[in-house]
Structure 1
Amino acid sequence: MLMHQVKVLQALASAALEGGRGTNGTAHPQQPPNALKLYEFEGSPFCRRVREVMTTLNLDYEVYPCPKGGKRYRDEMKKLGGRRQFPFLVDENTGTQLYESQDIIHHLFKYYGSTGRTPKKYSHYPKVPALALAGTLANGARGVWVNKKILERKAPEQLLELWGFEASPYTRIVRAELTVLELPFKFHNVAKERWQDQGLAVLRLKPGKYIPLAGGKREHVLKVMGENIQVPYLVDPNTGVKLFESAEIVKYLQKQYGS
């Protein structure tokens, strides 16, 4: 438990270094009919830029983890794009495959943003991602290297599903574990849509029973989770397991897919 609390503090520091990017997003995302596919790894600062924008646009997408030393999806993406460089986006809706985080970000705002233009704060990232890199280091460089115990294993038949948002420290811990275990998953963004959503599930700024924005994405998410929205939330269709709490989710993933 102490080790898990250390992970939480490191993940909090990582989110703070990025100024909270990847927390808030539109309540009415333009979700494409075919799932966006992102080949990436949690500890990459360039991948983090893209994930932050995915939360801003509140888009769901499929993640194919490519940690250093991994083979499962690194080889697959090289066949698709010709080289191992991250992040790598596959958008079957537009027939597009893209490397380079800035190019991917422009693409996402062009096709799935409300105006078709990239906001200024997302249009000119520095070539050296100093803050995001500092965030990776603050997070103990988790989600960078593969767990070598799983190298010869096959991926689960069905994608796991994870609800969260980029800047959530508890979600970050789970994503890091999914990365090192090379477990593909569908990530359901649960961006905060307004000030009433701010804060932890039991300590939101607006007291009382949580009521999501009518017609917003969180209203639909609440139907999945029950009486309250809490992230991370994991569903494993391969085993029927459904879990809240990052510590319990990590324990489950390690036992089911890492031991």
Structure 2
Amino acid sequence: MHRTLDVVTSLAASVARLGGGLRSGHRGERPDKLLELYEFEACPYCRKVREALSILDLEAIIYPCPRGGSRFRKVVEARGGKLLFPYLVDPNTDVAMYESNDIVAYLFRVYGDGEVPLHLRLGPLTNATAMMASALRPGFGAFARPSRAPEQPLELWSFEASPFCRIVREVLSSLEIPYRLHNVAKGSPSRQAFLARSGKMQVPFLHDPNTGADMFESADIADYLRRTYEIR
């Protein structure tokens, strides 16, 4: 896709969700252990959970499960008994659960102030706008592409509403590359540590511990991921 069209459609997806995941808030207790989320970028129900993680400033290990994927989909089926996404595992409470609304409510109850933001609790309207956002990026991050599995998960500093971060997450999803998601939405207290780490407040920012690569710029990151991990 032409770069300008790529960015415009990704921005439109953020607008469709009224900027959900743009700002951090509602924060409560912090987990000791990383949450685990099995999902794929194009899934509208997964989008709702990622927005909740951004708002609550929660980190998670993301295990991408695109259609046709062989790396993590079977893990979800073995652990939960069915192929349904998103699937959240919380090692802090020994909770594992399906259903986006249940996961969102759980996250705000356990790691927030208990109040789910309005845009995430509008039922059919929330689902409709999440589906619209996916429709604006048809197929991006939805289907698996052959790839080499990294020895260690990558790290991505991101927030859900950023159109540039979305472009990178789509590639990570299609290549089934697991990564540690560091959420740094506007107002996030995690931004100070990120600024010290990266030298400037710009996302997406990728760190690949397998190669030592550090980089900004969504186009450069997407190109790097394809060159390094895609099997052609």
Q: TM-score range by the shorter chain?
A: over 0.9
Residue of structure 1 in register with 2:212 after alignment? 240
Q: What SS does structure 1 have at the residue aligned with 2:96?
A: strand
* Equivalent position of 1:224 in the other structure: 197
After TM superposition, the structure 1 = structure 2 runs for residues 86-165 of structure 1, keeping only pairs within 5 Å, are 86-113=85-112, 115-126=113-124, 129-147=127-145, 149-150=146-147, 153=148, 155-165=149-159
1:120 is displaced (CA, Å) by 4.4
Q: 1:61-108: per-residue Cα shift (whole Å, max 9, x none)?
A: 110000001011000111111111000000010110010000001110
- Indicate the residue corresponding to 1:67 in structure 2: 66
Where does the alignment leave 5 or more consecutive residues of structure 2 unmatched?
none
Native 8 Å contact 1:27 1:218 kept in 2: no
1:133: Cα distance to partner?
A: 1.1
TM-score, length-normalised on structure 2?
0.94
The verdict on how the C-alpha distance between 1:120 and 1:132 changes in structure 2, with shifts beyond 3 A counting, is: closer
Q: How does 1:5-84 map to 2 (within 5 A)?
A: 5-26=4-25, 30-84=29-83
**Contact (CA 8 Å) 2:26, 2:55: kept in 1 or not?**
no
Q: Show the counterpart of 2:181.
A: 187
Please state how far the C-alpha of 1:141 moved relative to its aligned partner.
2.6
Partner of 1:177: 171
C-alpha contact 1:88 1:99 (8 A) present in aligned 2: yes
Give deviations 1:133-153, integer Å, cap 9, x for gaps.
Answer: 111111233010111x33xx4
Distance 2:203 2:129 in 1: 25
Q: Which amino acid aligns with 1:249?
A: I
Tell me if structure 2 keeps the 8 A contact 1:28–1:217: no
CA–CA separation in structure 2 for the residues paired with 1:118 and 1:29: 12
Counterpart-to-counterpart distance in 1, 2:210 and 2:195: 23
Superposition deviation, residue 110 in structure 1: 0.8
Is the radius of gyration larger for structure 1 or structure 2? 1
1:139 aligned counterpart, secondary structure? coil
> 1: distance between equivalents of 2:125 and 2:203?
32
Return the alpha-carbon distance in structure 2 between the equivalents of residues 124 and 131 of structure 1: 10
Structure-1-length-normalised TM-score: 0.85
Distance 2:28 2:12 in 1: 28
Give RMSD over aligned pairs. 1.8
Question: 1:255 and 1:36, CA in 2 relative to 1: closer, same or farther beyond 3 A?
Answer: same
What is the rounded CA distance, in whole Å, between the counterparts of 1:31 and 1:104 in structure 2?
16
Letter in structure 2 aligned against 1:145? F
CA shift for structure 1 position 28? 6.0
Please tell me whether the aligned partners of residues 69 and 146 of structure 1 are also in contact (alpha carbons under 8 angstroms): yes
1:57 Cα deviation after fit? 0.4
- Matching residue's letter, 2:38: Y
- 1:253 aligned to 2:225? yes
**Which SS does the other structure have where 2:150 is aligned?**
coil
Distance 2:125 2:97 in 1: 17
Runs of 5+ consecutive residues of structure 1 not aligned to the other structure = 195-215
Deviations 1:118-162 (A, max 9, x none): 344433422882211111111233010111x33xx4x21111000
CA contact (8 A) 2:26 2:115 kept: no
